[in-house]
């Protein structure tokens, strides 16, 4: 596939995994907003589409790594196994750690910016609850149904809706933390928490991208 300004960003990310570096650099939403053309995604961020096209060409040119991680060319059981091992298991553990750290930093430093820390704790608590339930639903119901070919459009659409909500919570965390900028007065836990937010955002974007733009199209095509 050659990339043009009309290619959907999710398709680019699925076929050229290294392209996600360019999207992350410009905060272009390639997971929940994967269906929209590159030109529209760039316009949303007020970035020149030709500049992004040039960066994409530069990033994906050497090619080797793009081939290694082409999950869109893998059988569904392998993709699901990868989602579980590379994302569900470590992210569940990391979400527990992040919630505990958020609570701690909120309790110790809340008075430095009470409104921000209150909203942050509320958002992280909600995201933790939602994702624990979401991962369990995928593991216990949706993935087995996909593997046996028994799933319906309503279920798949609900999954995308869940992902949309997670995307919104991640945007809230990014906004509250001023793009994960560590304040000069931050202690070690506070600093570690801001770094953990940046990492989990990146990891969840990849996780959701693989489900929205690779797994679900494969499930729909198999019907």
- The CB-of-138 to Fe ion minimum distance in angstroms stands at 5
- The CB-of-70 to Fe ion minimum distance in angstroms stands at 19
Binding residue for Fe ion, selected from 28, 204, 211, 216, defined by CB under 5 A? 211
| Span from 11-19, 101-109, 197-205, 207-215 in contact with Fe ion (CB under 5 A) | 207-215
Contact track, Fe ion, 133-152, x by CB under 5 A: -----x--------------
Q: Kindly tell me the number of DSSP H helices and DSSP E strands found in the chain.
A: 12, 0
Burial 154-175 (b: 16+ CB within 10 A, else e): eebeebeebbeebbebbebbee
| Span from 15-23, 67-75, 132-140, 183-191 in contact with Fe ion (CB under 5 A) | 132-140
Q: Does 201 bind Fe ion (CB under 5 A)?
A: no
Q: Does 156 bind Fe ion (CB under 5 A)?
A: no
Number of residues engaging Fe ion in binding (CB under 5 A): 2
Contacts of 82 (CB under 8 A, 6+ apart): 71, 74, 210
- The CB-of-5 to Fe ion minimum distance in angstroms stands at 29
Separation in Å, CA 40 to CA 8, 26, 36, 83, 146: 9, 13, 7, 29, 32
Separation in Å, CA 153 to CA 30, 146, 150, 207, 221: 22, 11, 10, 20, 12
Q: Does 29 bind Fe ion (CB under 5 A)?
A: no
Between residues 3 and 17, which has the closer beta carbon with respect to Fe ion?
17
Distance of CA 39 to the CA centre of its chain: 21
Between residues 20 and 177, which has the closer beta carbon with respect to Fe ion?
20
Supply the Cα-derived Rg of the chain in whole angstroms: 18
List interacting residues with Fe ion (CB under 5 A). 138, 211
């Amino acid at each position: 596939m050659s990339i043009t300004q009309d290619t959907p960003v999710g398709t680019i990310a699925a076929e050229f995994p290294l392209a996600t570096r360019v999207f992350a650099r410009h905060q272009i939403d390639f997971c929940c907003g994967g269906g929209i053309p590159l030109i529209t995604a760039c316009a949303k961020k007020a970035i020149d589409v030709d500049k992004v096209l040039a960066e994409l060409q530069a990033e994906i040119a050497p090619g080797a790594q793009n081939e290694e991680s082409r999950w869109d060319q893998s059988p569904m059981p392998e993709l699901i196994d990868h989602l579980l091992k590379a994302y569900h298991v470590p992210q569940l553990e990391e979400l527990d750690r992040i919630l505990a750290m958020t609570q701690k930093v909120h309790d110790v430093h809340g008075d430095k910016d009470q409104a921000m820390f209150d909203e942050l704790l509320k958002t992280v608590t909600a995201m933790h609850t939602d994702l624990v339930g979401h991962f369990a639903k995928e593991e216990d119901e949706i993935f087995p149904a996909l593997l046996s070919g028994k799933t319906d459009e309503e279920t798949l659409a609900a999954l995308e809706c869940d992902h949309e909500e997670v995307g919104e919570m991640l945007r809230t965390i990014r906004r509250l933390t001023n793009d994960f900028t560590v304040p000069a007065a931050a202690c070690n836990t506070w600093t570690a928490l801001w770094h953990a937010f940046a990492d989990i955002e990146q990891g969840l974007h990849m996780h959701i991208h693989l489900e929205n733009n690779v797994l679900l199209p494969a499930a729909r095509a198999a019907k």
